[in-house]
Amino acid sequence: MPTVTWARVDPARRAAIIEAAEDEFGAHGFSRGSLNVIARRAGVAKGSLFQYFADKRDLYAFITDIASQRVRDYVEDLIRELDPDRPFFEFLTDLLDAWVAYYAEHPHERALHAAVSLEVDTEARITVRSVSNRHYLDVLRPLVRAAHTRGDLRRDSDTDVLLSLLLMIFPHLALAPYMRGLDPILGLDEPTPEQPALAVRRLVAVLAAAFEANSSVNAAPQQSEEFT
């Protein structure tokens, strides 16, 4: 969290620091991101940053929170537009399609998401992932609970497992279609225009087979030819 001094900083200077920090961390992550570069681009002394934030990791977490909130605002508007009271897995398919499209159209947000998701410094990763995970779960948990209450999910569903799977799928689909090497299995390494949508439907089909109220408990996805 910023120090109390941050609140007294001129709004234009605050905006310049946020923009410079987002650019630097989005390009280089925590480990290689430079406070010197952030200060220079923002037009402030490096020492001023330590008046506003406890340390570099604190600044990184603050930037992650701001970026996550922007994406969250978009997703919450989208959820209302898509009508979350529809059958859950039909709704989830449309939500994931829009999620993939959002990151295609917002490379700045994608870079910040990649920096957080792929951070190599353990302590920094724990700090910023806790921030981004909070935003994810604040949005996804009510959707899963409502689906369970409506009867879209099996009564015996382990909703914590479903949430955990969604917490892996959403970040993966934000990045894999645009970053080679993250998913050679679902065709997202070198995707055709339609491939992300096909991947979304394969992932949702597996979730539906496991959790949907009308699916057989023993339903299982077809094995790929590689393993048959």
Share of the chain above pLDDT 70, in %: 94
Residue ranges per structural domain of the chain: 60-217
Q: Rounded to whole angstroms, what are the CA distances from 91 to 78, 161, 182?
A: 11, 19, 26
What is the model's pLDDT at position 1? 81
The mean per-residue pLDDT over the stretch 123-139 comes to 94
Other beta carbons less than 10 A from residue 143's beta carbon: 17
pLDDT at 90 over 80: yes
Mean pLDDT of the chain: 91
For the domain made up of 60-217, give the CATH fold.
Tetracycline Repressor; domain 2 (1.10.357)
State yes or no: pLDDT of 123 exceeds 80: yes
Residue whose entry in the numeric block shows the structure tokens 């930037």: 63
| Cβ atoms of 131 and 59 closer than 8 Å | no
Predicted confidence (pLDDT) per residue in 162-179, tens digit = 999 999 999 999 999 999
> Is pLDDT above 90 for 228?
no
Rounded average pLDDT over 191-204: 94
Handedness of CA 129, 132, 138, 140 (dihedral sign): negative
Rounded Cα distance between 34 and 53, Å, is: 15
At 155, list the tokens: 């009564």
CB 144 within 8 A of CB 212: no
Instruction: Quote the pLDDT of residue 37.
Output: 96
Predicted pLDDT at 219: 42
Task: Provide the pLDDT confidence category of residue 190 given band limits of 50, 70 and 90.
Answer: confident
pLDDT above 80 for 59: yes
Q: Is the pLDDT of residue 218 over 90?
A: no
Euclidean distance between CA atoms 182 and 190, whole angstroms: 10
Cβ-in-10-Å burial (0-12, 13-18, 19+) of 206 comes to middle
For the residues 62-91, what does the mean pLDDT come to?
A: 96
Q: Which residues contact 120 (CB under 8 A, 6 or more apart)?
A: 29, 31
Residue 226 has pLDDT above 80, yes or no: no
Rg (CA), the chain: 20
How far apart, in whole angstroms, are the C-alpha atoms of residue 107 and residue 125?
Answer: 21
For the four alpha carbons of 92, 97, 101 and 104, in that order, the dihedral sign comes to positive
Percent of the chain residues past pLDDT 90, beyond the cut: 84
What does each C-alpha distance from 103 to 139, 149, 213 come to in angstroms? 18, 31, 31
Nearest-5° Cα angle at 171, 174 to 166: 125
Greater confidence (58 vs 224) lies with: 58
**pLDDT exceeds 50 at position 124:** yes
Among residues 79, 64, 151, the alpha carbon closest in space to that of 113 is found at: 64
Band of pLDDT at residue 227, cut at 50, 70 and 90: very low
Mean pLDDT of 89-109: 96
